[in-house]
Amino acid sequence: MNNQWDNRPEREVRQEICEIGRRIWIKGFCAGNEGNHSVRVGENRVLCTPTGISKGFLEPDDVCVVDINGDQIEVNRKGRKRTSEVKVHLAIYKKRPDVSAVIHSHPPHATAFAIAGIPLPEGIHPEAEVFLGKVQTAHYATPSKQALPDSLTPLIGPQTNSLLMGNHGSVSFSATLIDTYYKLEILDAYCRVLMLTKQLGHANVLNPNQMKELLEVKQQFGLPDERLACVDKGCVGDDNGSFLASFGDSPASASCSCNGGSVDHHGGNGHGTASGVPVQVNQRSNDAALEAMVQTITNQIMANTRG
Ligand SMILES: [Zn+2]
C-alpha cells in the first residue's frame, strides 16, 4: 500500500475540512456537535476537527493538529481541543497507510441498521457494491474509549472503506477527504433505499452471475474487490438473511415447483444458480413469469385453433 497523505498547503486542507463539515451538517449526518473528521497530511501529522463544535460552523482556525498518537502538537489559535474520537482515526491511519482522510458520522439511515443489528445486505444495489463494497458492522463499544477503535480494526481489510459501529454510527475512509465524504453519502443513501424497499415488502437480489459481472466491471474501474475470487463459491450475501428475513417472500417462507416439486428458492430469478448459492427469492417475478407462460400457451392454442 502506498502512502497517499494529503500534501496540499495546509490552509487549503483546513478550508476543505470546514466545507465538508458544512455538507455533513446540511445533510443531517451529524446533529449538534456530533461527528468528527480528519486528514492525514504527513507521517506524523494529522489535521482533525475539534471537540464540542458543530461541523456546520467550522472555521479553518478551529482545526486541530495531532501526531499519530493523538497528542496535540500545535497550540490551537482559538484554544480548541481535538476530537475525543481521534483514536478511531489514528487506528485506521496506522492500519491503512493508503488512507489520508477519515469521517466518523451518525448518518440516520445507516445508524438505524447499526442499532437494529441488521448487517447491510450484499448484491442489492450496483452503486453500493462498486463504491462501498462489503460494509461490516462492528460490535458496540463505548465512545471515546480505546474499545471503539479496537472494535473496528479487525474489520479493516485492504479494500474496506466503510464500517458501521454498533448502536452508534459509521466511519468512512479513503485516499481523499472528498472521496471519503462521497462514501458517507453513498452509505446513507443505500441504507435509505434499503428501508424504502423494506416498506414495499419485496427485494430482488442479484444472482452470483450478475454479481460476478458487476465485480468485473468494478475491477475494470480500478477498484479491485476480493469477493470477485469467491463470488462463484457463494461468498457474497452470507449476511443477507437478517435484512431479507421479514419479507413476505423470504427464502424461509417461499417455495416453488419449478423443478417438479416444492424446493427452496435459490437464485435471483427463482430458477437456481450454478453455484447453488442461496439468493433472495423473486416470487413476484416467478408469478409474473408463470402468468406470461400461461398467456403464451393460450395465445398459441388460440392461434392453432384459428388456423
Ligand atoms: Zn459518534
Per-residue pLDDT tens digits for 223-279: 999 999 999 988 999 999 999 997 865 553 333 333 333 333 333 333 333 333 334
Do 166 and 230 fall within a single domain?
no
User: Domain for residue 305, yes or no?
Assistant: no
Residue 183: pLDDT above 50?
yes
Which amino acid does the sequence have at 207?
Answer: N
* Options 16, 85, 122, 129, the catalytic residue: 85
Say which residues have a Cβ less than 8 Å from residue 52's Cβ, sequence separation at least 6.
33, 81
How many of the other CB atoms lie within 10 Å of CB of 143? 15
Percent of the chain with pLDDT over 70: 79
Do 122 and 217 fall within a single domain?
no
Q: Find the 104 Cα to ligand 1 centroid distance in Å.
A: 6
For residue 70, give the DSSP letter.
S
H-run or E-run covering 181: helix 177-200
User: Domain for residue 297, yes or no?
Assistant: no
Do 190 and 216 fall within a single domain?
no
| Confidence (pLDDT) at 132 | 98
CA gap 38, 48 in Å, rounded = 4
β-bridge mates for residue 45, sequence order: 42
Do 267 and 149 fall within a single domain?
no
Q: Find the 23 Cα to ligand 1 centroid distance in Å.
A: 17
The average confidence (pLDDT) of the chain is 86
Do 149 and 247 fall within a single domain?
no
Q: Find the 267 Cα to ligand 1 centroid distance in Å.
A: 38
By CB neighbour count within 10 A (0-12 exposed, 13-18 middle, 19+ buried), where does 104 fall?
buried
| Confidence (pLDDT) at 280 | 41
What residues does the ion ligand 1 have nearby, CB within 5 Å? 169
What is the tally of structural domains in the chain? 2
Task: Using the 3D structure, point to which of 150, 171, 200 is the last residue of a domain.
Answer: 200
Do 54 and 163 fall within a single domain?
yes
H-run or E-run covering 45: strand 45-48
Comparing 274 with 45, which gets the higher pLDDT?
45
| Confidence (pLDDT) at 20 | 98
Do 195 and 212 fall within a single domain?
no
Do 30 and 65 fall within a single domain?
yes
User: Domain for residue 169, yes or no?
Assistant: yes
C-alpha cell at 27: 445533510
User: Domain for residue 128, yes or no?
Assistant: yes
Q: Find the 126 Cα to ligand 1 centroid distance in Å.
A: 28
H-run or E-run covering 263: strand 263-264
CA gap 182, 89 in Å, rounded = 17
CATH code where residue 163 lies: 3.40.225.10
Comparing 60 with 292, which gets the higher pLDDT?
60
β-bridge mates for residue 266, sequence order: none
CA gap 25, 31 in Å, rounded = 7
Do 159 and 238 fall within a single domain?
no
CA gap 70, 148 in Å, rounded = 15
Say which residues have a Cβ less than 8 Å from residue 110's Cβ, sequence separation at least 6.
164, 169, 170, 187, 188, 190, 191
User: Domain for residue 2, yes or no?
Assistant: no
How many of the other CB atoms lie within 10 Å of CB of 192? 15
User: Domain for residue 4, yes or no?
Assistant: no
Task: Using the 3D structure, point to which of 169, 200, 231 is the last residue of a domain.
Answer: 200
Catalytic annotation present for 291: no
Task: Using the 3D structure, point to which of 200, 231, 256 is the last residue of a domain.
Answer: 200
- For the stretch 91-131, pLDDT in tens is 999 999 999 999 999 999 999 999 999 999 999 999 999 99
Q: Provide the domain limits for residue 154.
A: 10-200
Q: Find the 26 Cα to ligand 1 centroid distance in Å.
A: 17
Do 221 and 136 fall within a single domain?
no
C-alpha cell at 198: 423494506
CA gap 114, 111 in Å, rounded = 5
Do 173 and 228 fall within a single domain?
no
Residue 73: pLDDT above 90?
yes
| Confidence (pLDDT) at 121 | 97
Q: Tell me how many degrees the CA angle 185-187-189 measures, rounded to the nearest 5.
A: 65
H-run or E-run covering 101: strand 101-105
CA gap 104, 47 in Å, rounded = 14
| Confidence (pLDDT) at 208 | 94
Do 108 and 125 fall within a single domain?
yes
H-run or E-run covering 86: helix 86-95
Q: Find the 106 Cα to ligand 1 centroid distance in Å.
A: 6
CA gap 91, 204 in Å, rounded = 37
Which amino acid does the sequence have at 239?
Answer: D
Q: Find the 51 Cα to ligand 1 centroid distance in Å.
A: 11
Percent of the chain with pLDDT over 90: 77
- For the stretch 28-43, pLDDT in tens is 999 999 999 999 999 9
User: Domain for residue 244, yes or no?
Assistant: yes
| Confidence (pLDDT) at 250 | 54
| Confidence (pLDDT) at 161 | 98
| Confidence (pLDDT) at 281 | 41
Q: Find the 165 Cα to ligand 1 centroid distance in Å.
A: 9
User: Domain for residue 102, yes or no?
Assistant: yes
